[in-house]
Structures are given as structure tokens and as C-alpha cells.
């Protein structure tokens, strides 16, 4: 009888524990600009994702602290960013760079990120924007489950041009990634 009670208590505790919300620390953000191939923008108060005629001309990078969760443990994820200015509305997609991007990268020396789109959001006005980042976080977990840092890459599509709040700006507008893990 004691064993049955012990197993019942363990089952209850496991059931109560449920999912845990995890927010990896944003460690760096920057963007690259095709018109300024050798300039870095890691100290700017905004970061940009822009495209012209379907080709990216500004690409944003956000690096997060190490991933320690397995992909099968992740049930959902969101990425929230504050859009400061919408010059031209449109879609912005999420891509993975499975290492930490540096705030000194330039267009000429930017890292090669995964071309697979792992989430897209249509942005039409300034304010908080929320992507479903579940596919992105699961991919990051499969690539970086041993604690390596990872980067989210924002790529505008079509003719979109949108600026986002940077780490160097207001702490109330800082980007937030959050996922649920069991």
C-alpha cells in the first residue's frame, strides 16, 4: 500500500510540474546593410530588416544564450519584438544561424544562415509584434542542445522595410523569446 501511495504522489508531482517557461537571454543584436558593406551596426538603437524587389538589403541578427532543451521537450514558442518604424509593410521571416553572431559583422562578412523559413509574420504598423517561433526554437534545440548559443535571423520579404528596438534602446522594448518545455 505504501508503494502505491508513493507512486501516486510521484505521479501527482510530475503532473503538477507541467511545462516550464524558458526565456533565453538576448545577448546581442545587430544588422547588416547591403549599401554599407563594410559597416557594422551593433551599437545602434534600432535594427533593420529590409528588402527591395524580393531581395534582402538589410538583415537583422539576434544572438541568444545557450540552448539546453531537447527539441521533443518544446511544446510552443514565441518571439516578440517592438517594431519602431514601418517604412514599408510586409512579411518578415525567421531563420536560424546555429552559432552566436557577433555585433561587428558586416554585409561583406555576414555569416551564412539556414535558408529555411521557420516562421513568418506580416507587419503593417509599429508596436509589439509576435511570431509563432515554435519551429525556430525546435530547430535551434536540435542544432544546439548542448548549450551552444544560437542566433535568430530576421529577413524581410518582398519590399518590406521595418526597424525594431535594439538592446541599446529602451529596456521596455527589448526583444523577448520564450518557449514552453516539459
Whether 112 is covered by a domain: the verdict is yes
Residue 166's pLDDT band (boundaries 50, 70, 90)?
Answer: very high
Tens-digit pLDDT profile for residues 74-127: 999 999 999 999 999 999 999 999 999 999 999 999 999 999 999 999 999 999
Whether 13 is covered by a domain: the verdict is no
Whether 11 is covered by a domain: the verdict is no
Tens-digit pLDDT profile for residues 34-47: 999 999 999 999 99
Position 17 scores a pLDDT of: 54
Whether 134 is covered by a domain: the verdict is yes
> What is the mean pLDDT of the segment spanning 124-134?
98
Whether 149 is covered by a domain: the verdict is yes
Place of cell 535594427: 47
Q: What is the number of structural domains in the chain?
A: 1
CA–CA dist 55, 47 (Å, integer): 18
Instruction: Note the Cα 146 to chain centre separation in Å.
Output: 18
Please spell the DSSP secondary structure of 129-179, one letter per residue.
EEEE-HHHHHHHHHHHTTT--EEEEEEE-TT-EEEEE-TTS-GGG--EEEE
CA–CA dist 131, 178 (Å, integer): 11
**Chain mean pLDDT for the chain:** 90
Amino acid at each position: 500500500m505504501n508503494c502505491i501511495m508513493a507512486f501516486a504522489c510521484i505521479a501527482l508531482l510530475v503532473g503538477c510540474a507541467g511545462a516550464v517557461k524558458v526565456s533565453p537571454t538576448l545577448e546581442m543584436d545587430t544588422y547588416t546593410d547591403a549599401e554599407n558593406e563594410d559597416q557594422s551596426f551593433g551599437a545602434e538603437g534600432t535594427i533593420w530588416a529590409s528588402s527591395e524587389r524580393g531581395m534582402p538589403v538589410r538583415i537583422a541578427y539576434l544572438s541568444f544564450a545557450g540552448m539546453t532543451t531537447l527539441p521533443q521537450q518544446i511544446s510552443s514558442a514565441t518571439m516578440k519584438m517592438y517594431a519602431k518604424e514601418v517604412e514599408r509593410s510586409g512579411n518578415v521571416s525567421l531563420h536560424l544561424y546555429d552559432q552566436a553572431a557577433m555585433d561587428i559583422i558586416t554585409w561583406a562578412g555576414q555569416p551564412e544562415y539556414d535558408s529555411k523559413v521557420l516562421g513568418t509574420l506580416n507587419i503593417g504598423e509599429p508596436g509589439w509584434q509576435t511570431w509563432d517561433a515554435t519551429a525556430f526554437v525546435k530547430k535551434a534545440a536540435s542544432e544546439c542542445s548542448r548549450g551552444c548559443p544560437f542566433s535568430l535571423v530576421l529577413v524581410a520579404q518582398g519590399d518590406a522595410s521595418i526597424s525594431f528596438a535594439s538592446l541599446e534602446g529602451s529596456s521596455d522594448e527589448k526583444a523577448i523569446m520564450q518557449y514552453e518545455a516539459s
